[in-house]
Amino acid sequence: MRERVGWILLASAAAAIPFLTSNTYYLYVAISVGLLTIVTSGLNVLAGFTGQTSLGHAGLYAFGAYTAALCATRAGLDEWAAITAAVVVTSVVGAAVAAAALRVSGPYLAMVTIAFGIIVEGVLIEWGSVTGGPGGIFNIPKPSLRAHYWTVTLAAALALWLTANLRGSGWGRAFVAVKESEVAAESLGLSAYYVRIVAFTVSAAFAGAAGALFTFANGYISPDSFTLQTSILFLLALLFGGLGRIAGPVVGSLALTLLPELLTRLIDYRLILYGTLLLVSIYWLPEGVVGAVTRARRRLAPAHSALASSLEASVSARTASALASSLEASVSARTASALASSLEASVSARTAALSPEGRGIDSEAAPRTDLGIPLPHRRRGQGEGTILNVDDVSLAFGGVAALAEVTLVVAPGRIHALIGPNGAGKTTLLNVLSGYYTASGGTFALDGHQLNGLSPYVIARRGVARTFQTAQVFGEMSLRDNVAVGIAGPRLGSVLGALVGTPAARRRELEIRAQAGALLHAHELGDLADTEAASLSAGLRRRLEIARALATQPILLMLDEPAAGLSPVEIGLLDRQLTALCREGGLTVILVEHHMDLVMTVSDRITVLDYGRIIADGAPADVRRDAAVIEAYLGAAP
């Protein structure tokens, strides 16, 4: 509610400015705020949502500005046609730059984008026959400043609305997923490289639109407006306002536009001012102004809630005391007996829940409920033959053999456990099978289709899902959004539809969120559906990761130590879920686990690795008695 009031106040202030002043200087400053808001809204998609830093957006801004100027002065196009052409051209350029630049990340990407901006500035200066050289382009048709103010203001509002739509869509979740954990995102079928290209292209389109509007606001452009300092200003405004926050671009643009105007006498020290703001943003406002305000409000909310609860409890206690005094004489022995029986039943129920049977270790005695977990649709039931064939797979790190001629056959609809001492190669084998490591020898196939050499996201799309030794959840997202990433997978729809929020995109989004909620309830996480994943305990993160993997409806699910950090009750739930999924849904599971009670209870077959080699393979009872297995775990045969 407070956010909505804030937006209404901002819109009212923007609408009132032309009526409160006719001073062209104030109108131009307001237009500058709007232009910076548009650019930083686009940059927010790239840096805030996707986590990729660009210091070359001034180059994209220049492409939009010069395209619009050339269309207006040489092609004779009107303002809107020129703006449209600028957006299209800048989007194409942005996609081309992204395809080359996004093969690197972090500081390397920043360096590549700096180089792009410097190249664009150099071309603008040297290619005088087209760009006008250092003097720029003159005589650009210029609308009235008041009319252009409305154009820029509406464009800024549209930019904020589009980014809000995008953040709440499948594409927005994909952007954040790639930022939070590229490894986990690719395990759900998302191509991190492609997702980043889309984000960069959208960001470029916003910069191009702002550049075109800048052209018509000035009526004249030159290379001096598109330097590295301009790119730094864009990024600094976003950092100061709040990375990833929808309102961040507005707050940052207001601060970075109005502050220099208020300190015009210190214009020679502008870079010092920018540097100081950057330091303040990094050290004292790491989430920007908007993020700091939001976090402070969340900290105050529990305090108010606790105070209200305390007052309510006090009043309730007094009321209850008075009521008890008035009814004390009428309390009968039968009521006391009923209360005692109720308490006894409650204690007995709690005691039973903590017993081995209540923890789910004895699957027959444990209470059974309809888990309601979506079952795999690609393959159902248990059948003969194999679903996964691993033939002589080897992998070495330097001179150390992590895997040595591993051969494995996994039957469909079964739970196949991989066990062994620490460092035996269990997780390494999962990494090979899911595409994160490339085997140096051997082959492996899923359902008859070779997977060697495929990228992790391609293998995930073939029907392989996995969890990780250290739970990889998307901390910035809620539990519902985490699972929604798995449900949508690579089927994200049109990015234009996501930006505009078409009825089809909204219907799809409602369906995905409903499915995510149902899956969370099946895993007993429904009450936490709208909680940020970053606040979860280790055990809850494990359960969320498993739910997210199942959301992809895989053929083969690979679990890497799923019981680590779980309570006995949660382990019992995991036992029942795995059994139901395999027996009823035909899901095949490869289980890497050190919890031997769970392994021996749920597994149909066990393979034991030691120093990258298979030392035993067979039914749980046979493996338990194998002398080589006992020696590997205990150091000597009995």
DSSP 328-381: GGG--HHHHHHHHHHHHHHHHHHHHHHSTTTTTSSTTTS------PPPPSSS-S
Please check whether residue 331 is in contact with residue 546, taking contact to mean a CB–CB distance below 8 angstroms: no
What is the reported pLDDT for 492?
Answer: 95
- The residue count of the chain comes to 638
Q: Which residues of the chain are modeled with pLDDT < 70?
A: 1, 267, 301-384, 634-638
Please check whether residue 609 is in contact with residue 615, taking contact to mean a CB–CB distance below 8 angstroms: yes
Please check whether residue 434 is in contact with residue 187, taking contact to mean a CB–CB distance below 8 angstroms: yes
Over the stretch 452-496, which tens digit does the pLDDT of each residue have?
999 999 999 999 999 999 999 999 999 999 999 999 999 999 999
Please check whether residue 43 is in contact with residue 57, taking contact to mean a CB–CB distance below 8 angstroms: yes
Q: Which residues contact 383 (CB under 8 A, 6 or more apart)?
A: 412, 413
What is the reported pLDDT for 481?
Answer: 97
Domains of the chain and CATH, by start: 2-293 (1.10.3470), 388-473+537-634 (3.40.50.300), 478-535 (no CATH)
What is the reported pLDDT for 544?
Answer: 95
Provide the whole-model pTM. Answer: 0.85
